[in-house]
Structure 1
């Protein structure tokens, strides 16, 4: 017998089980061997890129999947020895190879067919998935970087939990019904309360830093997380699909779980790098 989705549209027991399992994997890797985080992020980005590229190809948008997958790994892994310079170099090389790949794929003796559209969307995917994810791995290269990742992940979790709980219990006023009907202003308020409290505590207790940094981080995590979720919802609406994949029960695909994490990784890295 299948479990009916909750008011927020999820299979709640399955979603909780998957979330706990993923959280345990992250915690174990960061506590035992922090650099294993590169492998976890790299694997997740490969699956997410495959999901997105598959959905795009189903809509006849021919993104060059092989160089996008390999380039995504280069973007992630070059951050280990070379930091932001390695990430930027990997991204530039990926874009260049994808441009040439798509050019040769259609044949040099044929009239161009959607070349500009396909290449533009390919660059978007490379920036959206592996480039933003690389900032989650760059965090762990800092001294005490595992603590940065904990602060990042706990802040996003607090935002998600607060938004979900407030949305289910009090949600009456849709925020952007044309893009995401289940998002409400009450849910956004819940996200703000939980994320600010959670980030304030983690920044103070884990990083031993100024609590005002935690307040700032909590606010920006809610803003970027919400916008990240809306961006993926808009992409899915453009493609006429509900989920990017089906690999995570209660969540959809890997990319459906990463939509708020990807931009949040960048802003966490930015805030902590600038202020710490």
Structure 2
């Protein structure tokens, strides 16, 4: 029969046991992230800063906005290429960057036909550049290069097509506003009411309740924005909002799938609270072709 434990011994045993299951009373509590997994103050600060920059460029000169698009897509191409390299897909950097800049500028200057031609030339450039470096694993690398050429570069060209219109600054503002409303509405509804995951294997924090919030925010915001900013029909704005909410969600899930397949959380850490530039562009680039087409149909641009 063992001797009874002294007070000190029992206290030491309790402390040892407590250290295995959690902090002691003297330890400060660990601050947990928000339910959406973001550093919310940093995300809000960076988001507001980007918003001010974009609005200022659209108000002052839309060519400034074109420059922002070129830089953002260039950084996005670099991030995506860097991420693909982790699974031994080595995308040629120079032709990808030159192609991304060329697609955006050609779309702004020459329209849709120029955008398509530049995409083809970019793909040819990536193919020749990679094959000139050897044929070992060339098919895999060229396929990755084509993917980068289309997403995000080619899709971003549709934002340049919108910007090129006489009222292009207002069109791009409405386009970006609707996508931001999708993100804000989905975040607010998901955090407040999210109970049913939409795609748990891809994005565990995205819920059907959050998607409903995105649709509601986009429909209302799109109807108001198109009517007040573009002098278009409110129903056209509501249609734009509904389609953009779906496309933005698809874009978000698409990048989440890519990141999960690559085994990474964010494309980079350039934007505190957001991750990388591509983590902010994922919805925008997918929505851009749909917004361009719907706005062209609902609110024809004056020549």
* Distance apart, 1:3 and its partner CA: 7.0
Question: Could you tell me how far 1:79 is from its partner in structure 2?
Answer: 1.7
Distance 1:145 1:132, change over 3 A: same
Aligned position for 2:212: 189
RMSD of aligned residue pairs (Cα, Å): 1.4
**Residue of structure 1 equivalent to 2:294:** 271
In 1, the alpha carbon distance for the partners of 2:173 and 2:231 equals 13
Partner of 2:58: 30
* Offset of residue 208 of structure 1: 0.9
2:72 aligned with 1:44: yes
Q: Tell me if 1:144 matches 2:167.
A: yes
Among 262, 267, 277, the alignment partner of 1:239 is 262
Render the CA deviation track for 1:63-114: whole Å, top value 9, x for unaligned.
11111011111011112221112211211110001011111112xxxxx432
* Match status 1:123 vs 2:146: yes
Task: State the partner residue of 1:109.
Answer: none
| Closer/same/farther in 2, CA of residues 29 and 231 from structure 1, 3 Å limit | same
- After superposition, the Cα gap between the structure-2 partners of 1:3 and 1:21, relative to the gap in structure 1 and judged at 3 Å, is farther
Partner of 2:110: 82
Number of residue equivalences:
271
Change (3 A) 1:3 1:251: farther
Residue 179 of structure 1 deviates from its aligned partner by: 0.4
**Equivalent-residue separation in structure 2 for 1:51 and 1:218 (angstroms):** 29
Contact 1:158 1:194 in 2 (8 A): yes
Which position in structure 1 is the counterpart of 2:5? none
Per-residue deviation, residues 3-27 of structure 1 (Å, max 9, x unmatched): 7421100000000001100010110
Matches within 5 A, 1:1-276: 4-106=32-134, 112-276=135-299
The answer to whether the Cα contact below 8 Å between 2:90 and 2:144 also exists between their aligned partners in 1 is no
Deviations 1:160-201 (A, max 9, x none): 111000000000100000000000000000001111000000
Which ranges in structure 1 are unaligned for 5 or more consecutive residues?
107-111
How far did 1:134 drift? 1.1
What is the alpha-carbon distance in structure 1 between the residues aligned to residue 285 and residue 84 of structure 2? 19
- Rounded Cα–Cα distance in structure 2 between residues aligned with 1:86 and 1:37: 20
Moved beyond 3 Å, runs of 4+: none
Equivalent-residue separation in structure 2 for 1:144 and 1:37 (angstroms): 13
Which is greater in Rg? 2
Partners of 2:182 and 2:152 in 1: how far apart?
A: 21
Q: Distance in 2 between matches of 1:71 and 1:218?
A: 31
Distance 2:107 2:177 in 1: 23
> Structure 1 residues 149 and 103 mapped into 2: Cα distance closer, same or farther (>3 Å)?
same
TM-score w.r.t. length of structure 1: 0.95
